[in-house]
Chains A and B, each alone.
Chain A
Amino acid sequence: MASLLSSLRYLLADFIGEDDDTPPFPPDGLPDGAAPVVSEAIHRLIDYQGAGYARLYVERLRRFVGRRDVDAAMFGEIARLMAMRMSYEDPIRIAQQKLAELEIGTGNPRGPSADDVRKFRFDELVGALPAAVAEPVLDVLERLGWTRKRVSIRFSTKSRWGIRRLKIEAGLRRWRLFSVRYARERAWVERWLHMVGRSLAKQPMAASAIVQTADMVQGYGDAYRQGLIDWHAIIDGLAKPTFDGALPLGDLAAAIAEARAAVMPDPRQVALKRVIAEIRARALAAGANAAAG
């Protein structure tokens, strides 16, 4: 009977969630001081999605374990920032947090506000649904020109209905890994790790700056979108061409710091694009001079 149930569970795993909920262990050979960060991240990701997702975190982290070019401080930052990026804020996450706040704050009159209104873009909201459902809806929204429209969502624990709704929203996490948003986030995390890896190989002095760029992408709504386009502008304009050998940038870390200082809440990225263009022009000119002289 148990084996029959186990087979049925395997068959329906995509719909009812994983069978294996054993939490992963932190990888062996962690640098000094990294264990608490990693352990906290594993708990956070189990709470966010499940044990399988925490295992993915451990597997990603293992790429940097035991590397001589990654010191304890850098490893700790990779561990912390990767956990932060892997637990990205979507409406499901906010519902989970609200429910957690309710649990902690029960009976506490000075607890967090019971009512929370957040503004999302339509595409962000629909993107949290499984791709099979979200993609046709996004196509329709695109045709109507509504993808960028904002919608206010109330996350409330004031009433029983509000709590019930939060539980339904938090329950959508079962399908989170099939969502359009997750596919993008997964590609983003892989790209960030790829850039860290390439930096360690090509410009080790800039690796720490590349790691730190992860905190440019945070939150949800417009702030998240702005952070994302700024990050891609810096990586595509400075880091990638340097690693590809197309841009002779001697001090990539300083260039990234200079570009990050020019980041403004401007969707057109005027200041950032100008600074990146200046850095590129300087580097190309210096490279040409070096080649001539």
Chain B
Amino acid sequence: MDTSHLAEHAGTASSFFASIFVVATLSMRTMIPLRVFGILTNIILIASAIPTRNYPTLVLHAVLLPLNTYRLHQMLQLVRDVKKSVNSDLSMEWLKPFMTERKCAAGEMVFYKDEKAESMFYIVSGRFQLVESGIELPVGAIVGEFGMLSPSNLRTQTLECIEAGVILSVNYTQVEELYVQNPAFGFYFLRLASARLFENIEKLEQRLAQHATPAFAAPRPA
């Protein structure tokens, strides 16, 4: 019995079905649904390429399927990590995979006060000091995360490398892209930034209280 016409009909039907998924994929506004529909389209096109023996399509989508899956996994992991960070130590370690390494020599200025802020930094090793306040930042500290959200976009302090080390940097544009592509990431990123801001305010209030206490505790002798 000749089954070639059946395969041809099945191929045409599945190609039509796959086309609907291609349109659906391209109409997605954000990255996660786009990747999910991309994966479904890959699967359908692989399935439709088998009966019609359309090997170039089969190979192309066999390559695109793991790529889409990997990118989706990265996105979901990022959202999970940011969410976890909001609920635990407010760390920004999740940004590390998106950062590029930069070596700093002693005496090198990473950025200057009042300069337009364009990236944030993660201190990996060495010693770094905020010049105006004289505060030394510990290894593992993130610097410049508020510059992205502040209306003026200006650095509020100068950062100097006082002992050679390594920092990781990420451009605000990259973070903005993650934010726009992925609303869940954006939501948790905002919560994380606000939580860090509130934590800073709390620390300042504690410091103010410490300064204010002695004046009340130790009245001047008559």
Contact = CB atoms under 8 A, between A and B. Distances in A.
Asked if A and B are interacting partners, one says yes
A191 B107 contact: no
A149 interface: no
- A contact patch SS: helix
Nearest to B153: A59
B93 interface: no
Interface in B109-130: 109, 111-116
Interface residues of B, number: 10
Contact of B112 (A56, A59, A190, A236): A190
A17 interface: no
A197 B107 contact: no
Interface string A193-230: 11001100000000000000000000000000000000
A183 to B, nearest CB: 12
Interface of A: 56, 59-60, 63, 187, 190-191, 193-194, 197-198, 236
Nearest to A198: B131
Contacts of B115: 190
Given A187-B109, A236-B107, A194 B158 contact: yes
A194 B113 contact: yes
Interface in B98-115: 107, 109, 111-115
A60 B131 CA distance: 19
Given A56-B116, A194-B109, A194-B112, 15 more contacts: A59-B116, A60-B114, A63-B114, A187-B109, A190-B111, A190-B112, A190-B115, A191-B109, A193-B112, A193-B114, A194-B113, A194-B158, A197-B113, A198-B131, A236-B107
B153 to A, nearest CB: 10
A12 B199 CA distance: 40
A187 B131 CA distance: 16
Contacts of A60: 114
A129 to B, nearest CB: 21
Contacts of A197: 113-114
A63 B114 CA distance: 7
21 contacts: A56-B116, A59-B116, A60-B114, A63-B114, A187-B109, A190-B109, A190-B111, A190-B112, A190-B115, A191-B109, A191-B112, A193-B112, A193-B114, A194-B109, A194-B112, A194-B113, A194-B158, A197-B113, A197-B114, A198-B131, A236-B107
A197 B111 CA distance: 14
A193 B154 CA distance: 14
B105 to A, nearest CB: 12
